[in-house]
Amino acid sequence: MLSHLTVSNYTTVANLELDFSGGMTVITGETGAGKSVVLDALALVAGGRSDSKAVRSGAQRADIHAIFDISRNCEAQSWLKAHDLHDGNDCLLRRVITAEGRSRAYINGQPAPIQNLRNLGAMLIDMHGQHEQQSLLKRDTHRQLLDCYAGAEALAGDVKDAYRRWQTSLADLERRQSQSDEQHAHAQLLEYQLNELHELQLQDGELQQLELQQKRLSNSEAVLQACHQALGLCENDDGNNLLDLCSQAHQLLTPFSSHGKELGEAMDLLASARIQLQEAAYNIQAQIDGQTIDPVELQQVEQRLSSLYQTARKHRVSTDELIGLRDRLQQEFDALQNDEQLLDELQAETDLHCHRYLKLAVELSEQRELAAGKLAGLVNQQLKALNMAGCQFAVKLNPLADDRHGQHGKESVEFLISTIPGQTPQPLNKVASGGELSRISLAIQVITASKSSIPTLVFDEVDVGIGGAVAEVVGQLLRKLSKHSQILCVTHLAQVAAKGHQHLGVRKLARKKSVATELNELRNDDKVNEIARMLGGIQITEQSRAHAQEMLAAS
């Protein structure tokens, strides 16, 4: 609940510090005194829209602090912990607005985006009044109030979570499916290329062997011819071959072998040369004997090489890279096959999330359907007591189209009202006046208060256009509501003000160059005098004081 508020240089307020208690706090004052200044300041500190005109004339900035006791507000504590802002049982919200129109927000002393302030503020305080922040005009509020009354808030949270999971999975699935046609075409190309490469059956080192074999086979005829010629030079039959010539030279020198050392060495070399010539002739003959010319084998080798070269050119790689290309394409093809399997798994996961969402959404719809009629009936009973007997309140569930599902379920929730008997109920913002809207809100809040998680409810002049016995009923309802939530209420009716546990009086002070608004807590005689003023006007009589004391005693 709200425990303390400090306001500096905001509109007509110079400095203001207020401590708030639980129960019902009423704010009263003469017309134009600035009774709503506290509520407007609270709206700002809870994330409302700022305006440079909010800064007091002559000041550099407006500064608003609000302290909330969150010891029993589990939702707010969880939010603060999730954002690393939790700091015990008190939560400090601060809003600073400069004269230039800039705005800064703080949560527990840490700078924070305005949206974070707004999100947290919605867990701490709910504003109801005749201004732009009337939450009852928002359909989200209608749904939240109905779910609160139905006791379906946890189920609604499960539906939202299931929807988020379903949509995340579905988006991933659709993204992958959008790529599937292109991937399928690519997989077909890879499969064709792989079949072609696998049909080659190319082995490591085969290319080098083929090239050597092709070179050998293509040169075999020239090699054989050269061998015959070389063999003829070594040992032809005309006596003019190398072996015979070498023998003749040796024989010529034999008679003179002792003639000198050099001649003896020459004869040894000739003998050795003859032996080597004989070995050479033997090897050449062996080559000739083993040499075959096979045109068919050469053709086969050349065809194999041509196939390899052609495939390499087709894939724009060298022949040495064909095996590496085949392995890379195989890996890519396997990865695409795995993607197909992943797509099937993702489809199954999406179907599972969809089934869970639909199951929970149907359950939520059933609970809403049961609660809608009951809530409308109870609100209509309260409206009769609030002098709105001619009004007819209804809760409408609008099913979404079959192909449209929302994070909040299979339908939208809308509150309708007719202010004329027999008139078809219409949306609240098209029919209800400001005063009627406040009383409708009051009726709904009284009914749902025991289940509401928002600890502080603010009502701005919910008693506009009523008086007498109805005003007494409004006071009783607010007092009843304060058993479950802290109530802040701006009122101009004594019957309502008398029901407050805490009473704040507002007055406007006119100075030479400025106007100032002051708020003070009223006690004892001051409280009696204020109630008497509200009953009898400016002149406070003993009779009005006695009436005021009677009303306070009755409360």
Which of 291, 326, 361 is at the close of a domain? Answer: 326
> Does residue 342 lie in a domain region?
no
**pLDDT top residue among 336 and 29:** 29
pLDDT at 39 over 70: yes
pTM here is 0.61
Instruction: Find residue 406's DSSP bridge partners.
Output: 409
Range of the domain at 465: 1-130+461-508
349, amino acid identity: E
Kindly report each contact of residues 220-225 with a partner whose C-beta sits within 8 Å and lies 24 or more positions away, as own/partner. Answer: 220/291, 220/292, 220/293, 220/294, 221/293, 223/287, 223/291, 224/288, 224/291, 224/293
Residue from 458, 457, 462 nearest 438 by CA: 462
For residues 207 and 317, membership in a common domain is answered with: yes
Residue 516: pLDDT band with limits 50, 70, 90: confident
Query: Which of 168-177, 253-262, 284-293, 308-317 tops mean pLDDT?
Result: 168-177
Report the C-alpha gap between 36 and 438 in whole angstroms. Answer: 15
| pLDDT of amino acid 222 | 63
Token code pair at residue 485: 């939530």
- pLDDT digits 0-9 by tens, 77-103: 999 999 999 988 999 999 999 988 889
Burial of 254 (0-12, 13-18, 19+ CB in 10 A): exposed
Left if phi > 0, otherwise alpha if psi is -120 to 50, otherwise beta: which for 45?
Answer: alpha
| pLDDT of amino acid 133 | 40
For residues 123 and 189, membership in a common domain is answered with: no
- pLDDT digits 0-9 by tens, 8-19: 999 888 888 999
| pLDDT of amino acid 254 | 78
| Strand ranges inside 295-427, DSSP E | 392-399, 411-418, 426-427
| pLDDT of amino acid 110 | 94
For residues 244 and 117, membership in a common domain is answered with: no
Report the C-alpha gap between 168 and 82 in whole angstroms. Answer: 22
Helix or strand holding residue 180 (H, E): helix 153-200
- Annotate 478-547 with DSSP letters as a single string: HHHHTTTSEEEEE---HHHHTT-SEEEEEEEEE-SS-EEEEEEE--HHHHHHHHHHHHH-SS--HHHHHH
**pLDDT top residue among 213 and 264:** 264
For residues 195 and 321, membership in a common domain is answered with: yes
> Does residue 413 lie in a domain region?
no
| pLDDT of amino acid 397 | 94
Report the C-alpha gap between 118 and 43 in whole angstroms. Answer: 9
| pLDDT of amino acid 228 | 62
For residues 113 and 222, membership in a common domain is answered with: no
Burial of 256 (0-12, 13-18, 19+ CB in 10 A): exposed
> Does residue 383 lie in a domain region?
no
pLDDT at 180 over 60: no
Helix or strand holding residue 460 (H, E): strand 456-460
Helix or strand holding residue 5 (H, E): strand 2-10
Token code pair at residue 487: 């109530």
**pLDDT top residue among 463 and 109:** 109
Q: How many other CB atoms are found less than 10 A from the CB of residue 388?
A: 23
Burial of 523 (0-12, 13-18, 19+ CB in 10 A): exposed
* Alpha-carbon 392 to chain mean position: 41
Task: Calculate what percentage of the chain has a pLDDT beyond 90.
Answer: 28
| pLDDT of amino acid 131 | 46
Looking at residues 253-260, what average pLDDT do you find?
76
**pLDDT top residue among 523 and 212:** 523
Give 65's contacts (C-beta < 8 A, 6+ positions apart).
4, 5, 6, 45, 92, 93, 94
Lowest model confidence (mean pLDDT) among 146-160, 341-355, 362-376, 535-549: 535-549
Which of 311, 326, 341 is at the close of a domain? Answer: 326
Report the C-alpha gap between 393 and 380 in whole angstroms. Answer: 6
| HSE-CB for 271 with a 13 A CA cutoff | 10
| pLDDT of amino acid 429 | 77
For residues 126 and 188, membership in a common domain is answered with: no
Which of 508, 528, 543 is at the close of a domain? Answer: 508
Work out whether strand 486-490 and strand 456-460 pair parallel, antiparallel, or are unpaired: parallel
Looking at residues 324-337, what average pLDDT do you find?
73
> Does residue 481 lie in a domain region?
yes
CA distances (Å), 5 to each of 39, 63, 301, 460, in order? 11, 11, 97, 17
pLDDT at 112 over 90: yes
For residues 188 and 125, membership in a common domain is answered with: no
| Rg of the chain, C-alpha, whole Å | 50
Angle between helices 322-385 and 295-314 (to 10 degrees): 30
| pLDDT of amino acid 67 | 95
Lowest model confidence (mean pLDDT) among 59-63, 153-157, 457-461: 457-461
> Does residue 224 lie in a domain region?
yes
Domain count, the chain: 2
> Does residue 482 lie in a domain region?
yes
* Alpha-carbon 51 to chain mean position: 31
Provide the CATH number for the domain around residue 122: 3.40.50.300
Helix or strand holding residue 91 (H, E): strand 90-98
Average pLDDT over the chain, rounded to an integer: 82
Helix or strand holding residue 328 (H, E): helix 322-385
For residues 21 and 125, membership in a common domain is answered with: yes
- pLDDT digits 0-9 by tens, 351-373: 999 999 999 999 999 999 999 99
- pLDDT digits 0-9 by tens, 199-250: 777 677 666 776 676 666 666 666 666 766 776 777 776 667 777 778 778 8
Looking at residues 131-152, what average pLDDT do you find?
79
Left if phi > 0, otherwise alpha if psi is -120 to 50, otherwise beta: which for 527?
Answer: alpha
> Does residue 436 lie in a domain region?
no
Contact 454, 123 (CB under 8 A): yes
Work out whether strand 502-510 and strand 24-29 pair parallel, antiparallel, or are unpaired: parallel
> Does residue 416 lie in a domain region?
no
CA distances (Å), 217 to each of 169, 294, 301, in order? 64, 8, 9
pLDDT at 461 over 80: no
Token code pair at residue 70: 């969150």
